[in-house]
Amino acid sequence: MPAEPSFYAPVGYSIWWPLIGVALLLLVAGWYGYVVLSTRTANAAGIPGFVPPRNPGSVQSRYLGIVDDIERRHDGGALDGRSAHQELSVAVRAFVHEMTGIAAQRMTLAELRARELPAVAAAVRQFYPAEFATADAAGTVDVHSSAAAARMVVAGWR
């Protein structure tokens, strides 16, 4: 055994190992960021600050009840044809606004078509003749078929 112990310097590591470690950490952080951003709920229709309803089924059932009430009041004589169509239009447009955040209450038929809401546009197109007709002509349009169109928009919403 030698009298003086010999000193062995630590083995030097390559600079590549810390760089690979940092790259792996960045890769994992990027993956987590991607997962979080790709799975969060987006704003419907690209409207800033819009939060979709928590329970769309309850919104649908509420508006189906509104349509039923309008039809019932018309059948009972409380609403004439023109007023019933105007209320159906308001109900359908308010439903679209509540589900998407799109200000459908202020949109024309052409604007609804441009927003690619074909079922809504078809229903509103059906409401138009009675909504804007004279009181005599509005009574000739069938409220029941218009209410069915409104129910189709609300119940068929996805």
How far out from the chain centre does Cα 63 lie? 16
- Residue 12 has a pLDDT of 80
Closest Cα partner for 52 from 101, 91, 90, 102? 101
- Residue 9 has a pLDDT of 75
Domain ranges of the chain: 12-41, 57-155
Residue with tokens 């998407």: 100
- In three-state form (DSSP H/G/I as H, E/B as E, the rest C), the secondary structure along 72-105 is HHHHCCCCCHHHHHHHHHHHHHHHHHHHHCCCHH
Angle at 118 between CA 112 and CA 122, to 5 degrees: 85
Question: Residue 144 and residue 158: Cα distance in Å, rounded?
Answer: 24
- Residue 51 has a pLDDT of 73
Structure tokens at 12: 């030097």
- pLDDT, tens digit only, all 158 positions of the chain: 566 778 777 788 888 989 999 999 999 999 999 998 888 765 555 566 667 788 889 999 999 999 999 999 999 989 888 889 999 999 999 999 998 888 888 888 888 888 888 889 999 999 988 888 776 665 567 899 999 999 999 998 87
For every residue of 48-67, DSSP letters joined together read TT----S-HHHHHHHHHHHH
47 within 8 A of 53, measured Cβ to Cβ: no
- Residue 7 has a pLDDT of 77
Residue with tokens 């200000």: 103
Closest Cα partner for 71 from 57, 62, 83? 83
- Residue 101 has a pLDDT of 86
pTM of the entire predicted model: 0.67
